[in-house]
Amino acid sequence: MKATVRIERETMNALAMHYSTLGKLSIDGSYGLRTCDMVQVLRSCPHLHTLYYTDRCKGSSAVNGEAFIDLDPDTGLLKPWLCEGSLKVLMVMIADIPRPDLENKNAVVEAYPGQGRKIQSQVYNRLGRLTSLETLWLEDISGTYRYDCLEMSLASGLDELFGLKSLQELNVEKMATKIGIEEIQWMAENWPKLRVICGIDGDRKNWRRQIG
């Protein structure tokens, strides 16, 4: 789906007819898609292996962090997603996360103390269930520096991603992360197939595993 396409209810209803066989969904620059629509795809497609949600012209089509978590309102637990064992590639900007640790006018303000870290912990929990992930791109491809993003630090709950044993590539470019030496060491130890981390400290610096 490209930038000239507006995603209406009819489009999502038609797509729903193919949930049982859908393997790849690439949405680039389309408008009208809500975070809950994208989450419904993730929740409903048992064979989904690739999901791109971007905007090459204007930048990433960011999704709301709390909506991405997808909690069951009755139990307070994460709803199961049928793609948890099949998804290999995820490219999406998870945004609208309060970051009181950042002294920046573009940072989202917490509604209550601890809200930001609570959301981050739940987002990590959600991502940690995608145990077949090989590529995880969280960057804003527009080049805009993001302050409403995940910290990707151990203090914020990064270790909840310990189950991503198949992860090979992590991209966090142009994000106000707090990835330091301890985080890189943790990633290298817990993600044995990890080859590269792009965008450490939001800069265009990469970490690569030394082979041999």
pLDDT of 19-33, one tens digit each?
999 999 988 766 556
Judge whether 100 lies within some domain: yes
Crossing angle for the helix pair 9-16 and 35-44, to the nearest 10 degrees: 10
Count of structural domains within the chain: 1
What confidence tens digit (pLDDT) does each residue in 66-83 have? 999 999 999 999 999 999
What confidence tens digit (pLDDT) does each residue in 105-157 have? 778 899 999 999 999 999 999 999 999 999 999 987 767 788 999 999 999 99
Neighbours of 111 (CB within 10 A): 8
Contact 140, 93 (CB under 8 A): yes
Judge whether 203 lies within some domain: yes
Judge whether 2 lies within some domain: no
Provide the domain limits for residue 90: 9-208
Per-residue confidence (pLDDT) for residue 88, from 0 to 100: 98
Judge whether 83 lies within some domain: yes
Q: What is the CATH number of the domain that holds 106?
A: 3.80.10
Q: What is the mean pLDDT of residues 170-186?
A: 94
What backbone phi and psi angles, to 5 degrees, belong to 11? -65, -45
Judge whether 139 lies within some domain: yes
Judge whether 1 lies within some domain: no
For 10, the token pair is: 């009819």
